[in-house]
A and B are shown apart, each in its own frame.
Chain A
Amino acid sequence: MLQHLLAGFAALLTLIAAGISIRAPAWPTALSMPEPAPACIGHSVLDIKPLREAKGFAHAASAVFLRDGRLRAVWYEGSNELKSDVRIWTATFDGTRWSGARPVLGPDETTAGTGYYVQKLGNSIIFRDQNGELVIVFAGIGSIGGWDGVSLKITRSLDEGESWLPPQSLTTTAIFNFGTNVRGPAVPAAGNFTLIPTYHSFVLHFPEVVLLDNRDRVVGKRRIGVAFRGIQPFITVLNEHRAIAFMRVNEGFTLEAKTDDAGWSWTEPVQTTSPNQDTPVVVARIGDDLFMISSYYDSSMDRWSLIFAISTDEGQSWRTIYARQYGIGDFPKYPWLTVGTDGLFHLLFTVVQSDGNSKLMHGRISRDWIAEHGGPACP
């Protein structure tokens, strides 16, 4: 008798769970269009300066424009990556100079906020969600493992980044929530959803997209594709349904995969003509063309360069328009590109130096400069 009663009870609860599961949010059918590329401003600008020279390791900057026109950057900084003194830092740029940098989050605050022990922090991305609030999604590592054991945390600010609410944990994987990391910018989607380009780094590597609702809940996840084991996808939106993901690979060429249904399904990743030596890329639309910034290592000269390139065929082939070479031992990497209210592209990236310390750099680039160097002409 007890056996039948329990079976009936379990079936009833499963039925209710099935009802909840059926009514769970569906994947969004459309992406929000990105900000248009800046117009030409009448003069050429390429201005690259340090924004932070850390006594240690500052890395993986991302940025968002504030309502008052300032640029707010966040990054992680500590004595080195995967150290327990790494914290998430922030600073703002008012159009002429950067404010002093200050830490906003550390492992203790993250442990207190999530209720999960967090020992180390890592990559972070900042974006404005569709409620208009600033959000940081960042990597946290518990008591074991390096990047393999990473999981995502989320925090939001109601005052343009001056203060941050206690972080929450995001559950994204089946095995101990291990292995989801973040780098590329978030993509807003219809229905108050946000796509977070992520990558899996536990045992096997591959790029993914995590779907967040406006209550910071993970409500979906799609694998971009396991071919070539790409990571750190950067998603460029072409229109409300179509987007391209560009991925870093260990050695070879930058990968691309396309979606026609707002990220639900992706074409198999294929190699582009852009060399990739284990560094992420950023890509922005300029009209019908694409503008990529990546890193390139010239082994014959033992030097890294920051490469600016243009594609006219939706990312399959790339033509270099500019290479900014760095000195021996300096390694420019982890670019982040955003369009400012001042009509310029703002580029952030890290230069890792031979002594292990790093500098965060800030570049301002006008559309005119890109046109002068063989990019799409000014309209």
Chain B
Amino acid sequence: MPINAVEVFGPTLLVAALAGNLVRSKPQSVRILASTCGAAVTNLPVGPATAATFFLGTVGPVSAATLVFAAGYLCAAIMKQQYRASRALLVSLIITGAVFYPLTFGLSNFDPYDLGYRGLTVPALMFAFVLVGWTARAIDIQLWIALAALLYMIGAYDSNNLWDYLIFPTDPIWAAGALAIDLQRGRARRQSTKLPPCQRAG
């Protein structure tokens, strides 16, 4: 079976991050073992396919943004830290997804997906994201764009469309959820700092 290792890396990383987070309360060695086992299981053959090829056959290869998220969650699981994507990254993904995906459904004759095959429109958008990341001091945006550009340059996936390296349909949904949780936590934190010290301790 011809395996595209870069495409398979996406589901492998996702399962590793998920497995590591499932045993988050265990010692670090267990967390590393769980992540490694998760990665290995993804590539074990089951019938004519593996879990990774099943994943790829169902939803296709993931974007650079998904890889950045998954890597962040995996690192956080292993280091037993809280992973928080920057708000700049989350907002960038939400806005891009909210504009891009509805148009690809065929609401009008304009197809933004076609812009990913050639020309400067999508690279210009990527430059804009680099600027946003630089202004907001969001390192994860730079990682996202650098990784997307790198994967596109080496033709890592079957696709020649830059959009496929940049964004995946679940990215904006994930980003919206993460942003909502982040905003909720921020509000709770602000409310707790407004309370008198004796109540805060309780």
Contact = CB atoms under 8 A, between A and B. Distances in A.
B129 to A, nearest CB: 8
- Classify chain B: how many residues form its interface, as a range: 35 or more
B197 interface: no
A208 B148 CA distance: 27
B147 to A, nearest CB: 9
Interface string A1-33: 011101101110111111011101110000000
Interface residues of A, number: 61
A111 B49 contact: yes
B48 interface: yes
Dominant SS among interface residues on chain B: helix
Interface string B135-153: 0010101110110111011
A10 B159 contact: no
Interface in A63-107: 107
Contacts of A119: 57
A173 B143 CA distance: 25
Contact of A13 (B1, B3, B146): B146
B145 A176 contact: no
Contacts of B48: 107-108, 111-112, 117
A206 B142 CA distance: 37
Contact of A14 (B4, B100, B149): B149
B118 A14 contact: no
Interface in B52-107: 53-54, 56-60, 100-101, 104-107
4 tightest A-B contacts by CB?
A117-B57, A18-B123, A13-B149, A171-B159
Interface of A: 2-4, 6-7, 9-11, 13-18, 20-22, 24-26, 107-108, 111-119, 142-144, 166, 168-171, 173-177, 200, 202-206, 208, 217-223, 225-226, 268
Interface of B: 1-4, 7-8, 48-49, 53-54, 56-60, 100-101, 104-111, 113-114, 117-120, 122-124, 126-127, 130, 133-134, 137, 139, 141-143, 145-146, 148-150, 152-153, 157-164, 169
